[in-house]
Structure 1
Amino acid sequence: MSCSSKEDDVYIPVAYNLEIPELFADKLIAPIIPADNPLTEEGVALGKKLFSDRILSGNQTQSCAHCHKLQEAFSDSSQFSEGADGSLGSRNSMPLFNLAWNFDERFAWDGKEFGLENQVIEPIVNPIEMHGDLKEITKRLNEHDRYPDLFQLAFGTSEISGDLVAKAVAQFMRTIISANSKFDKYLLGEASLTVSEENGFNVFMSEEKGDCFHCHGSNNNPLWTDNQFHNNGLDESFTDLGLGAISGDPADNGKFRSPSLRNLTFTAPYMHDGRFSTLEEVINHYSEGLQFSETIDPLMKKVNDGGVGLSDQDKADLKAFLLTLTDEEFINNPAFKN
């Protein structure tokens, strides 16, 4: 009998079954999953653990979940989140859900990061956010009693790098899906709208009234955002240039990414700088508070009139409709809890 050698068995992570909501499967193309970072059970579990671990911040006092809380649809109810060192930024924390369908692949209010993996790292090293040093963080992780084994299972190596940290957290974030609101059920024939909610949807979709759908989706775009960048008439001049600071093009000054309108019940305050505390304030802005500037979006067609001029009834109905986009199941999903 001839001698033979056998290579050590290599553990192969289990592919993660990303359950695509029915409406998403019907209305949207497949989500973006990078070929070099496929979803696995082990990778998602590791990313979830890292997301809630303070080990990723410089002084180990904050985790990603500190500014992106599940009960607030992975956003922050503070206007400006306090960083690990006590610093305050100038923007409100964006909610995190349905990110796998951001086909533009630019993230954050100003689109400064391309790709979700890059976006994961940015707040970790940002001095006014988690203020971490990747070399120090990976050193801690490599010396940890559990993380090397978890990375071995997820990625086939116990040598932990910043790149693998980003990949793990990004895997978890791609599984954060919200798609079970009252309006979703209505579109599936499982719920009915009130007269007020139905009128509010019509206001939302009417170019003569709310004219909201161009930037914020529709019954045919269940993301309820176009994930593009717009100057929506908040200011006449800008202290925060938004996309313009990233692109260097003055025509982009004052442009910020349209957030999803899902889960507005949980994500106050609103706008990139959290200036509006209530939905009534947001609706009033578009109704009679628009400010002209050189880069204002052409979709703000009634800026010279101050806004679209909604009646009190239409405002109330529009709010009623917006609240039908609330997904109570989402903020109680055990898959996302620490």
Structure 2
Amino acid sequence: MLKKTYIIAVLCLCIAMMYACSKNQDNEVPADVNIAFRVPANFPAPAYHFEDNKLTNAGFALGKKLFYDARLSADKSVSCGSCHQQFAAFANLDHKVSHGVENCQGKRNAPPLFNLAWQKAFFWDGGVKNLETSPLNAFTDTCEMRTDIATVIAFLKQTAPYPELFQKAFGTTDINSQLILKSLAQFTGVLVSGNSKYDQVVRKENSAAFTSTELAGYNLFKDKCASCHTEPFFTDFSYRSNGLDVQSADEGRSHITGVATDFGKFRVPTLRNIEYTSPYMHDGRFYSLDEVLEHYNSGVKPASNLDPLLKNGIPLNTLEKEQIKAFLKTLTDHEFIKNTLYSES
């Protein structure tokens, strides 16, 4: 009986050790994979370069672990991945605004995270100018992770396996803010979405072709929407008032520039993966593409700084709306959304 009990105990211990090892390896990169930053053939040169932040498997794995670690927040409940969910193209599915520690609700919708290496400014108001420093906002915002970089550093220094992971990634156990931000940039900078049906069509790959409805939608899009949502990123990265309100409740871009005419202006969002990034607009007020299209068709408000291109709205009949929606769905990059390299486990 004692022998049987001993055998069972040993088996349980082995299973527990296997589970622990598996969890420790959740963020490791498979041995046969080399992490690389790849520029799709239909994309221009990026704004961020990895020359001063050498991309490695170990650096990427460290950045990924930090991205998903809720223990970095004040109440250990919120990680970067809490508001940037892979199944929503790293946006926040069904949440109008981001939810932080103690369920604190912010005032803006969490934007999707991909193709960040081509951005020269970040957030809805462009308040940060560098990919590497952008996580500082999430760490320190009182309604997001509500901590500070010194606290994060202290936690990492005394928490296994972080010293070992920093040693693997950067050759040192001297954890500091620069290395934390560089590792996060290695993870987020590699999040490239450029293999949707649209991309394959324009690159003439895999015999991809639009359906007649998608093609009609593409032609409508180029005529009515492309001035702001410019290919290939489907944003021109500018800041505009699109007539959501006569008087915006959020000061928007003017909070950064101090310019009165920037009040209520927000960055033009990318339309890539828009099928999965609802709700829409800076405050998440629209839950469907139908609501978005109807806003431009009949709901544009005469704000004092309304973008001139929207002076008369964007008239769309029922058929045109369906055609544009069909085209927008060709911007979904299923490979990106399902790539297990980016997943928490």
TM-score tier (shorter): 0.7 to 0.9
SS of structure 2 residue aligned to 1:246:
helix
Q: How far does residue 35 in structure 1 lie from its aligned partner after superposition?
A: 4.4
Whether the aligned pair in 1 keeps the contact of 2:194 and 2:333 (CA below 8 Å) is yes
Partner of 1:336: 342
Deviation digits for residues 102-144 of structure 1, max 9, x if unmatched?
1xx2100111111112211111111100111222211110011
Number of the residue aligned with 2:10: none
> Is 2:121–2:128's contact at 8 Å kept on the other side of the alignment?
yes
Q: Which one of the candidate residues 209, 229, 233 is aligned to 1:216? A: 229
Inter-partner Cα distance in structure 2 for 1:238 and 1:188: 40
Distance 2:92 2:190 in 1: 20
Tell me, yes or no, if structure 1 residue 166 matches structure 2 residue 181: yes
Q: Tell me, yes or no, if structure 1 residue 312 matches structure 2 residue 318.
A: yes
What pairs up with 1:1-338 in 2 under 5 angstroms? 16-24=35-43, 28-33=44-49, 35-77=51-93, 78-102=95-119, 105-189=120-204, 190-206=207-223, 211-217=224-230, 221-302=231-312, 307-338=313-344
Task: Provide the rounded CA distance (Å) in 2 between the counterparts of 1:119 and 1:172.
Answer: 13
Which string of whole-angstrom CA distances, capped at 9 and with x for unpartnered residues, describes residues 131-180 of structure 1?
A: 11222211110011211121122223211122221111111100001111
Deviation at 1:31, TM superposition (A): 4.5
C-alpha deviations, 1:58-109, integer Å up to 9, x for none?
121111100000001000011122211221011110000000011xx21001
Q: Aligned equivalents of 2:47 and 2:150: distance in 1?
A: 32
Deviations 1:163-214 (CA, angstroms, capped at 9, x unpaired) = 22111111110000111111111112231111111111111111xxxx2101
Is the 1:16–1:40 contact (alpha carbons within 8 Å) kept by the matching residues of 2?
yes
Aligned partner of residue 183 in structure 1, secondary structure: helix
- Residues 58, 137 of structure 1: 8 Å contact kept: no
Following superposition, the deviation at residue 16 of structure 1 comes to: 5.0
- Please tell me the residue identity of whatever aligns with 2:263: N
Using the alignment, how far apart are the partners of 2:116 and 2:229 within structure 1? 15
CA distance in 2: counterparts of 1:167 and 1:245, whole angstroms: 27
Query: Where has structure 1 moved over 4 Å in runs of 4 or more?
Result: none
What's the CA shift string for 1:201-249, capped at 9, x where partnerless? 111111xxxx2101111xxx32111112111111110210110111110
Question: Helix, strand or coil for the counterpart of 1:89?
Answer: coil
* Distance in 2, Cα, partners of 1:321 & 1:151: 44
- Partner AA of 2:280 in structure 1: Y
Unaligned runs of 5+ in 1: 1-14
Q: In structure 2, what residue type is equivalent to 1:174?
A: G
Partner SS state of residue 55, structure 2 = coil
8 Å CA contact retained: 2:70, 2:77: yes
Aligned CA-pair RMSD: 1.6
| Aligned 8 A contact 1:75 1:95 in 2 | yes
1:128 is matched by which residue type in structure 2?
Answer: C
Identity %: 42
Structure 2 distance, partners of 1:281, 1:321, is 16
Task: Measure the CA separation in 2 of the matches of 1:71 and 1:260.
Answer: 17
Q: Whole-Å Cα distance in 2 between the matches of residues 55 and 283 of structure 1?
A: 40
TM-score between both structures, scaled by the size of structure 2: 0.86
Which range moved further: 78-87 or 261-270?
A: 78-87
Equivalent residues of 1:110, 1:246 under 8 A apart: yes
Letter of the structure 2 residue corresponding to residue 322 of structure 1: L
In 1, the alpha carbon distance for the partners of 2:314 and 2:49 equals 39
* Secondary structure in structure 2 of the residue aligned to 1:215: coil
* Shift in Å, 1:43: 1.4
Structure richer in helix, relative to its length: 2
Q: Which deviates more from structure 2 when the two are superposed, residues 93-102 or residues 146-155?
A: 146-155
- Count matched residues: 309
Report if the CA contact (8 A) 2:39-2:45 is conserved.
Answer: no
Secondary structure, in 3 states, of the residue corresponding to 1:203? helix
Any gaps of 5 or more consecutive residues in structure 2?
1-33
> Distance between the aligned counterparts of 2:268 and 2:239, measured in 1?
6
C-alpha change, 1:86 and 1:310, in structure 2 (3 Å) is same
What does the per-residue CA deviation read over 1:275-316, in whole Å, with 9 as the maximum and x for residues that have no partner? 0010011111111111111211122242xxxx1211111111
